[in-house]
Structure 1
Amino acid sequence: MSELFTVAGLTGSYGKISAVRDIDLTIAEGGVVTVIGPNGAGKSTLLNSLMGLHPSRGAITFEGRRVDQLSVEERLERGMCLVAEGRELFGTMSVEDNLLLGAYVQRRHGRSQAREDIEKVYAQFPRLKERRSQEAGTLSGGERQMLAIGRALMSRPRLLMLDEPSLGLAPLIVAEVFRIIATLRQSGVSILLVEQNARAALHASDFGYVLETGDIVLSGPSRDLLCNPLVEEAYLGASIEGGEANDAEAVAARSPR
């Protein structure tokens, strides 16, 4: 697979604090890459820096062109999209209106086929179609996550960045989220996944990076990281509590690479 997205020497800041340092990262066309690490490691700052939401230095190349000097809107127009940890939905607006907002950039440039795209989202997330007129703020946590991902898909991204998509969700819903990730990779969308559920994330991805206190301390094919004693001791033991990782792992294992 050819490279879609490369990062070289990225240093990102959170306020006056340098939260990630000298990060190198590569994502192939149609690939799924995960970044795992403890709370406070800088994972969200990394994603925000890549999307242009936080100040950063370094080279970010997307589809062969430098994007590190572009605005957030310009990166979105190029095909990058971030689903933030907080999901950032408009709670008093309907599910369908939230989805339509995701097509804003496409409409602005006269490229929108919003009705066609929204039907594709509903096919991917039948529960959202059932709740199309319901206010987003009344949805369950899993439904809000589905809506956040669906809204991102309305922008027709080539690279979808997901920040802790399983956070705070029940085990069965976690499994559903990872099923969705597996389906997206089959559709050709490349994914950068930041996730604390390390075992499920590694099973769902091709390649992984371990981020600790702002630095990449380990990287390699996901299958190798799953077998690495240091990764297992630090991250994999705790992630199976409540069967959460087992459910998500089973979904990921059934999905073609």
Structure 2
Amino acid sequence: MSSLLEIKDLHVAYGKVEAVRGVNLVMEPGQIVTVIGPNGAGKTTLLAAAAGLLRSRGSMAYDGVDLQNLDVEERVKRGFCLVPEKRELFGDMPVADNLILGAYAHRRNGTEVKRSLNDVYARFPRLAERRTQKANTLSGGERQMLALGRALMSRPRLLLLDEPSLGLAPLIVREIFRIVASLRETGVSILLVEQNARAALETADYGYVLETGEVSHQGPADELAHDPRVISTYLGGQN
């Protein structure tokens, strides 16, 4: 099986400060891969570089195609989709309009857009109930569902999720991770950046630990969850 995403010796700098140094990462089709680590480790920078939002050095191949030659829009057309940490919804627009904007790359195919919208409403019934509500009136959990739903409107093959549990109550966090895990059934591969290491490792197939811009540990997620070094640093105080 060929890799869906392969990152080799990735370097990303802000001016003279290197935030990501020599990172290697591989994803297979249908996998959920998580990147965990402390604040400032370079996790979000890694996702932004993969999405084409930041310049980088090294090589990135997506389904065998060199990503360095593709701009953001072209990556989206090929099934790349980023759900940013701040969700970046259009607060004054209704839920339905936010979702339809997610189908921009397929906007000329009205039948496909309608089918995608119905699929999202079936997966997120609360969004169907609130389709005419403005996005800025939703709860935190509903806004995260809307951000995920908008991403799914683009029919992604690879979903990049940046801190989907940020700022959510524990019950909502469990629901969000249940939804993330269920996306595997649709054939979507997921690269998940998350500070809730326990929830991330319980959801993922494979994991990377990023510290000060470099990969310090990696392995199958269940093995990392039982690694004494990971437990003492990232899991010891979590419930």
* TM-score, normalised by the number of residues in structure 1: 0.90
Which stretch of the first structure deviates more once superposed, 65-74 or 9-18?
9-18
Letter in 2 for 1:19: A
Taking only the aligned residue pairs, the percentage that are identical comes to 60
Letter in 2 for 1:202: L
Q: Where do residues 82-161 of structure 1 align in structure 2 (5 Å cutoff)?
A: 82-107=82-107, 110=109, 113-161=112-160
Moved over 6 A (4+): none
Cα distance in 2 between the residues matched to 1:95 and 1:106: 19
How far residue 69 of structure 1 moved from its aligned partner, in angstroms, is 2.4
How far residue 182 of structure 1 moved from its aligned partner, in angstroms, is 1.1
Letter in 2 for 1:114: V
Provide the residue aligned with 2:236 in structure 1. Answer: 237
Cα distance in 2 between the residues matched to 1:14 and 1:154: 32
The DSSP-based 3-state class of the residue aligned with 1:29 is coil
Provide the residue aligned with 2:27 in structure 1. Answer: 27
Provide the residue aligned with 1:249 in structure 2. Answer: none
Structure 1 unaligned spans of 5+: 241-257
User: Per-residue CA shift, 1:71-126, capped at 9, x if unaligned?
Assistant: 11111111110000000000000000000000001125x58611110000000000
Cα distance in 1 between the residues matched to 2:111 and 2:202: 35
C-alpha RMSD over aligned residues: 1.2
How far residue 33 of structure 1 moved from its aligned partner, in angstroms, is 0.2
The DSSP-based 3-state class of the residue aligned with 2:128 is helix
Structure 2 unaligned spans of 5+: none
The DSSP-based 3-state class of the residue aligned with 2:98 is helix
Letter in 2 for 1:26: V
How many residue pairs get matched?
A: 239
How far residue 16 of structure 1 moved from its aligned partner, in angstroms, is 4.3
Instruction: Indicate whether 1:182 and 2:181 are aligned.
Output: yes
* Contact persistence 1:83–1:148 (CA under 8 A): yes
Q: Where do residues 202-241 of structure 1 align in structure 2 (5 Å cutoff)?
A: 202-240=201-239
Letter in 1 for 2:119: K
Letter in 1 for 2:25: L
Cα distance in 2 between the residues matched to 1:13 and 1:60: 16
* TM-score, normalised by the number of residues in structure 2: 0.97
* Contact persistence 1:14–1:45 (CA under 8 A): no
Instruction: Indicate whether 1:41 and 2:5 are aligned.
Output: no
Which stretch of the first structure deviates more once superposed, 39-48 or 12-21?
12-21
User: Per-residue CA shift, 1:111-151, capped at 9, x if unaligned?
Assistant: 86111100000000000000000000110000000000000
The DSSP-based 3-state class of the residue aligned with 2:238 is helix
Cα distance in 1 between the residues matched to 2:203 and 2:74: 29
C-alpha change, 1:111 and 1:156, in structure 2 (3 Å) is: farther
Provide the residue aligned with 1:76 in structure 2. Answer: 76
Which stretch of the first structure deviates more once superposed, 78-87 or 6-15?
6-15
Provide the residue aligned with 2:65 in structure 1. Answer: 65
